[in-house]
Amino acid sequence: MKKNRAFIILSFALLVNGCVLAPGQRMSGEGLVRGTPTDSSQIQLVTITPQLLTEDNAAVLSATVPQALLSYKPEPYRVGPGDTLYITVWDHPELTSPAGSQQQTAANGRLVRSDGTMFYPYVGSVKVAGMTIEEVRQDISTKIAKYVERPQVDVGVVGYNSQHVLLQGAFKNTNPQPITTVPLTLGQALGTAAVNADQANMSDLILTRDGQDYHLDLTALGNGHGIAQNIYLKPGDRLLLPFNDTQEVYVMGEVLHPLAVTFRSVSDISLTQALGRAGGLNPVTSDGKEVYVIRGAKNLENAPAKVFQLDARSPAAFALGDQFRVKPGDVVFVGAAGVTRWNRVLSQLLPSATLLSSAAAANYSATH
C-alpha cells in the first residue's frame, strides 16, 4: 500500500511541475526591460503602439542621400587611353579623312595609345591624355598652323573607352557603362543595367567612390521624386546591387506554416504581411498577445537587442502590424496559449503516468 501511495505522489508531483518542463519555446520575461536598458546583457522590450510607428516613419523620411553624392557635378570630359578622336580640319579632307571619305567615321579616327599620345599628320605624336576636348582642339590648331593657314579644327570623340562605371550583382546587364561627354546619372545607369527586381536587394545599393561606400535604398530613391536623376556618376564609380538571398525574416512559433520570408527591400514587408505569408496565427494554439519581433543589434556590446511586442488579441491590432516594417534578420515569434502548453505537458506526462499506474496495479496484485 505504501508503494502505491509513493507512485501516486510521484505522478502528482510530475503533473504539478509539468509547466516548467513544457516542451517547445516560449518568451521568458527574464532579461527583458521596458525602457532603456542599463546593462548590455539586457534586452529592451518595446510595445508596438501608434506613437512608435510615428517615430519610425519619421526616421525613415529623414534618411537622405549623402550630400557628397548630391553635391558632385561632372567636370568636362577628359580624353584618356583607349579613346578614339575624330579630328576635322575644314577644307582639308586629306587630314580629316585620310582613309577616304567612303570609310566609316571610326576608320578615320585617331586612337589614343596607352601612353596617352596619338599620331596626327604633320604634327606627329601628340600628348592628349588628361586634356579636355577643347584643349585638344586648341593644341592641334596651334601645331598644325605651321602647315595650314588659319586652320579651322573641330574635335569629337567617336569611341569612349577610357572611363567607365562598373556594375556587379543583381543586374540583367553588368557590362561597364562608359562615361561620355554627356553626364551619366545614377538613374540612367540603373535603367541601362536593368535591375533584376526578383533577385535584387533593393534596400542596399552600394555606390563605391574614391574608396568610400555609400549605401542607398532604391525603393526610397524611387519614391523620392526622381532623386536618382540628380546623382551624377564619375569615372571609376562602382555599383554593387546585392542579391536578396540573405534578406530573410524568420516566422516561427504558433503559426500555421513557419517559414523564412524573402523580400526585396526593408520597406517591402510589414509584420502583418510576414504573418500572412506564414498562414496567420494558429487559431487553436496561439496566444494573440504574444506576438513578438526579435531584432538583434549589430554591436551587442554597445547596443541592446530589442523585442517588439504586438497584442493581436483583437484583429484591429493588425492595423498597427501593417505599419510596422520588419527588417532582415528579424525573428517573428508567436507564443503558445497557456492551455496549449498545459496540453503539451499532459501529452508528455500521460504515458509516464499510465506506466506508473500500471506498475502500481501490478504491484498491488502481486501483494494481494
Domain endpoint, select from 124, 159, 194? 159
Q: How confident is the model at residue 66 (pLDDT cuts 50, 70, 90)?
A: confident
Query: Exposure string (b/e) for 80-97, b if CB count within 10 Å is 16 or more?
Result: bbbbbbbbbbeebeebbb
pLDDT confidence bin for 157, thresholds 50/70/90 = very high
296 and 325 fall within a common domain: yes
Q: Do 254 and 327 have their domain in common?
A: yes
Q: 219-247, pLDDT tens digit by residue?
A: 777 655 567 788 999 999 999 998 877 77
Q: Which range, 34-38, 47-51, 60-64, is most confident?
A: 47-51
Distance CA 51, CA 67 (A): 30
Residue 134: which of 153, 161, 151 has the closest Cα?
153
For 18-33, write each residue's pLDDT tens digit: 455 555 566 665 556 6
In this structure, what DSSP letter does residue 106 have? G
Shared domain for 257 and 271, answered yes or no, is yes
d(CA 336, CA 347): 15
pLDDT recorded at residue 340: 59
Q: What is the pLDDT of residue 158?
A: 92
Residue 5 reports pLDDT greater than 50: yes
pLDDT above 80 for 56: no
Residue 20 lies in a domain: no
**Strand 164-169 relative to strand 110-111, pairing:** unpaired
pLDDT digits (tens, 9 = 90+) for 71-100: 999 999 999 999 999 998 888 887 777 655
95 and 144 in a single domain? The answer is yes
181 and 121 within one domain: no
Whether 280 and 224 map to the same domain: the answer is no
Among 136, 159, 182, residue at a domain's last position: 159
Is it the case that residue 277 has pLDDT exceeding 70?
A: yes
The CATH code of the domain that includes 197 is 3.10.560.10
pLDDT band of residue 7 (cuts 50, 70, 90) is: very low
Whether 251 is in a domain gets the answer yes
Residues 155, 115 within the same domain:
yes
* Beta bridge partner(s), residue 175: none
- For the chain, how many structural domains are there in total? 3
Residue 361 located in a structural domain? no
Residues 253 and 327 in one domain: yes
Q: Show which of 159, 193, 222 is a domain's final residue.
A: 159
pLDDT at position 123, please? 87
Would you place residue 156 in the very low, low, confident or very high pLDDT band (cuts 50, 70, 90)?
Answer: very high
Tell me, yes or no, whether 219 and 251 share the same domain: no
CB 153 within 8 A of CB 85: no
Residue 272 in domain: yes
257 plus 238 within the same structural domain: no
pLDDT tens column, 302-340: 667 888 999 888 877 888 988 898 888 889 999 888 755
Q: Are residues 127 and 90 in the same domain?
A: yes
Asked if 131 and 182 sit in the same domain, the reply is: no
- The chain-wide mean pLDDT, for the chain, equals 80
For residue 274, the enclosing domain spans: 26-62+247-338
